[in-house]
Amino acid sequence: MPLISKTILIGSPNSGKSLLFNQLTGLNQKVANFPGITVNIKSGKSTVAPELVLMDFPGVYSLHAISGEEKISVDAFYAGLKDPEVSSVVCVVDTTRLEKGLIFALQVINACAKHNKPVMIAANMIDVLNSHGMTMDLEGLAAALKVPVAAISAKSGLGLDHLQELITSHRDSPSPYPSDIDSKGNNIIASDDSIVHRQAQQLAASFGPKGDILINSQTRLDQFFLHSWFGGISFILIMFLLFQSIFTWAAPLMDGVESILQFAAVAVLPLLPAGAISDFVSDALFGGIGAFLVFVPQIFILTLVVGMLEDSGYLARAAVICHKPLRIFGLTGKSFIPMLSSVACAIPGIYAARTVDSPRKRWLTYLAIPLMPCSARLPVYSLLIAAFIPATGAFGGVVGWQGFAMVSIYLFGILCGLLVTALVSRTSAALQTDLPFVLEMPPYRLPSWKPLLRNAWDRSKHFVTKAGKVIFMVTVVIWVLGYFPNQGADLGQSWLGHMGKIIEPAFAPFGLDWKYGVAILTSFLAREVFVGTLGTLFGIEGGEENIISLVEHIQNSGLPIGAGFALLVFFSIALQCVSTLAVLRRETGSWRLPTQLFVSYSIFAYGAAWLTFVTVQSIAG
């Protein structure tokens, strides 16, 4: 028996492989109610048997598939069949869509038979059948297929012990594949596609749940959400609520973090000896890093709300609603998910673009992704909006002005993305041709809270640890350069002050002094660094007064309103993210596109910021 034994989890898209994988490994692979979420193979050790490795595969409709992430799955599956370390294959089938799942399962069983690999069926979503009082004949199905069938719910955990036992038993005594010849001597599993389809239909009719599950309520929901008018209106409303929630729901949490930090500062600072150490803790730690921590609740809520939308099944409808309008801009409905994922972070967005089947449309989607308002921009937006837009509400307080401003700046980023793809797609006829739009609609479901909360928590943690490291290093360097040689007595005469004056002319056209210039330059490492750098600089400058928040520091600094708007515009366009450039290079196989995007978006950002400053200042008088 090999030391490591691997089990492949394969199945149709959206059948619940990743949720099952998470349950069996304790990991947190992305799960969502949308086909094509997993785009890479992910391995993890089983929680009950560490030598057992489970492998979550991207979903595939057919083993004859040849496109994008499906090819990754199919190639790796065939390689796995020849790999002695692979002890079994689990084919995950969504029992609420049995026939479709069985078409693929029959192909998998057939391939495993040829290579003598043990295979079993995980009949998933049994909880949904149970909640509708439905049953299916699992023993009958197992007998007909001649492979073990385990009834499971990856959501509730039902039947997972049994599945684990089956997997372990194959590892301990690798049994040859059971004969695929039935008692009458007929080969029950055909390799011909049309026969496979017919067999799946017959098996589903004989052993599957009777009646159409949820069909009525699902259709009624679709009649509403895909309606030409109500669909469009509800889409706009849902997107509006999404962005409002970032401000309104996160506000109390953000205030809480700020209060804790202020409380800690008041408690800790008197304990430290006066001088450089106390100044460092107060300016760099509380001023710089604290200013950035305040925004973590927003990242959490944004990830949670986008996750809820994904898991409810609504996003696939949104992709349909957006298909026509997106075509005007040279994109396709399939670009919608990568673009919306980029609202959380561009990196998963770039990976999600693998599901855009036309290579040209995928390339155009890459152009739009860096302009989507990602969560790293959120702290910068929040800070500037809080400094310049009053915290009052319109329509009796229902719509907050700050929330409105947030929606506007988000829309601005999205519009810039669409504008770029519209212009670029018109430069060549080839870029306008598209493949037919075929997208499978997942069922509407109540979101599963546990994975969503965990995902939001992980994203926030990742944000703090990854961005936190960069912010910490930059903050320390900025503080040292800004504090010496005069012990923070005069920031303008510090080493940083002298350097800042050199770069000041570059930012003067949009009303910014050298402090903002330094903060912008540091933010090319990661956008959030802007907030940390400003926090540190104002911390040093503020001397004893620095317990006030960064927002107040900015308000007191006399920054013209046009410069505030110019900063917002600059940050919504510039491509200040090293990771995005690296992942784009990996996905496109060359530095060409990342370099082009970096240079052109920097120039675009600079020009648009200047224009904004001039316009707003002339309006403001």
Ligand X SMILES: Nc1nc2c(ncn2[C@@H]2O[C@H](COP(=O)(O)OP(=O)(O)OP(=O)(O)O)[C@@H](O)[C@H]2O)c(=O)[nH]1
Positions that interact with ligand X (CB under 6 A):
11, 13-19, 31-33, 35-38, 58-59, 124-125, 127-128, 153-155, 311, 445, 448
Whether the CB-CB separation of 246 and 298 falls below 8 Å is answered with yes
Per partner kind, with CB cut-offs from 5 to 8 A, the member of Mg ion, ligand X, none near residue 612 is none
Residue 94 Cβ vs ligand X, minimum distance, rounded to whole Å:
8
Strands (E), 346-493: 393-394, 399-400
Nearer to ligand X, 59 or 488 (CB): 59
Helix (H, G, I), strand (E, B) or coil at 150: strand
- Closest-by-Cβ residue to ligand X is 59
Per partner kind, with CB cut-offs from 5 to 8 A, the member of ligand X, Mg ion, none near residue 171 is none
Whether the CB-CB separation of 8 and 55 falls below 8 Å is answered with yes
Whether the CB-CB separation of 475 and 533 falls below 8 Å is answered with yes
Per partner kind, with CB cut-offs from 5 to 8 A, the member of Mg ion, ligand X, none near residue 13 is ligand X
Nearer to ligand X, 31 or 250 (CB): 31
Instruction: Round to whole Å and give the CA distance between 402 and 215.
Output: 41
Nearer to Mg ion, 58 or 468 (CB): 58
Q: Cα–Cα distances in Å, from 539 out to 17, 95, 291?
A: 50, 59, 10
Q: Is 566 exposed, middle or buried (0-12, 13-18, 19+ CB in 10 A)?
A: buried
Per partner kind, with CB cut-offs from 5 to 8 A, the member of ligand X, Mg ion, none near residue 35 is ligand X
Structure tokens at 575: 């491509």
Per partner kind, with CB cut-offs from 5 to 8 A, the member of ligand X, Mg ion, none near residue 32 is ligand X
Whether the CB-CB separation of 577 and 345 falls below 8 Å is answered with no
Residue 98 Cβ vs ligand X, minimum distance, rounded to whole Å:
14
Nearer to ligand X, 262 or 448 (CB): 448
Query: What is the DSSP-derived secondary structure letter of residue 330?
Result: T
Nearer to Mg ion, 121 or 189 (CB): 121
Query: What is the DSSP-derived secondary structure letter of residue 288?
Result: I
Instruction: Round to whole Å and give the CA distance between 552 and 529.
Output: 19
Structure tokens at 600: 């052109």
Per partner kind, with CB cut-offs from 5 to 8 A, the member of ligand X, Mg ion, none near residue 497 is none
Nearer to ligand X, 155 or 459 (CB): 155
Residue 230 burial (CB count, 10 A)? 12
Whether the CB-CB separation of 481 and 290 falls below 8 Å is answered with no
Nearer to ligand X, 14 or 523 (CB): 14
Closest CA to 425 of 331, 313, 549: 331
Residue 591 Cβ vs ligand X, minimum distance, rounded to whole Å:
30
Nearer to ligand X, 213 or 520 (CB): 213
Residue 230 Cβ vs ligand X, minimum distance, rounded to whole Å:
24
Per partner kind, with CB cut-offs from 5 to 8 A, the member of Mg ion, ligand X, none near residue 546 is none
Per partner kind, with CB cut-offs from 5 to 8 A, the member of ligand X, Mg ion, none near residue 155 is ligand X
Per partner kind, with CB cut-offs from 5 to 8 A, the member of Mg ion, ligand X, none near residue 141 is none
Residue 145 Cβ vs ligand X, minimum distance, rounded to whole Å:
20
Structure tokens at 189: 């599993």
Nearer to ligand X, 58 or 517 (CB): 58
Nearer to Mg ion, 19 or 407 (CB): 19
Closest CA to 526 of 348, 345, 301, 366: 345
Residue 138 burial (CB count, 10 A)? 18
Residue 134 Cβ vs ligand X, minimum distance, rounded to whole Å:
13
Residue 414 Cβ vs ligand X, minimum distance, rounded to whole Å:
25
Where do contacts with Mg ion occur on this chain (CB under 5 A)? 17-18, 37-38
Per partner kind, with CB cut-offs from 5 to 8 A, the member of Mg ion, ligand X, none near residue 97 is none
Instruction: Round to whole Å and give the CA distance between 244 and 400.
Output: 8
HSE of 469 in the Cβ direction (CA atoms, 13 Å)?
A: 4
Per partner kind, with CB cut-offs from 5 to 8 A, the member of Mg ion, ligand X, none near residue 566 is none
Instruction: Round to whole Å and give the CA distance between 46 and 25.
Output: 5
Whether the CB-CB separation of 338 and 331 falls below 8 Å is answered with no
Instruction: Round to whole Å and give the CA distance between 153 and 127.
Output: 6
Residue 57 Cβ vs Mg ion, minimum distance, rounded to whole Å:
8
Check whether the bond before 442 is cis (ω within 30° of 0).
no
Residue 15 Cβ vs Mg ion, minimum distance, rounded to whole Å:
9
Helix (H, G, I), strand (E, B) or coil at 317: helix
Residue 218 Cβ vs ligand X, minimum distance, rounded to whole Å:
14
Residue 39 Cβ vs Mg ion, minimum distance, rounded to whole Å:
9
Residue 140 Cβ vs Mg ion, minimum distance, rounded to whole Å:
29
Helix (H) or strand (E) holding 504, with range, is helix 495-507
Query: What is the DSSP-derived secondary structure letter of residue 86?
Result: E
Nearer to ligand X, 314 or 507 (CB): 314
Nearer to ligand X, 352 or 569 (CB): 352
Alpha-carbon torsion, ordered 242, 247, 253, 256, to 10 deg: 180
Per partner kind, with CB cut-offs from 5 to 8 A, the member of ligand X, Mg ion, none near residue 517 is none
Per partner kind, with CB cut-offs from 5 to 8 A, the member of ligand X, Mg ion, none near residue 311 is ligand X
Nearer to ligand X, 156 or 579 (CB): 156
Residue 238 burial (CB count, 10 A)? 14
Q: How many helices (H) and strands (E) does the chain have?
A: 28, 8
Residue 450 Cβ vs Mg ion, minimum distance, rounded to whole Å:
16
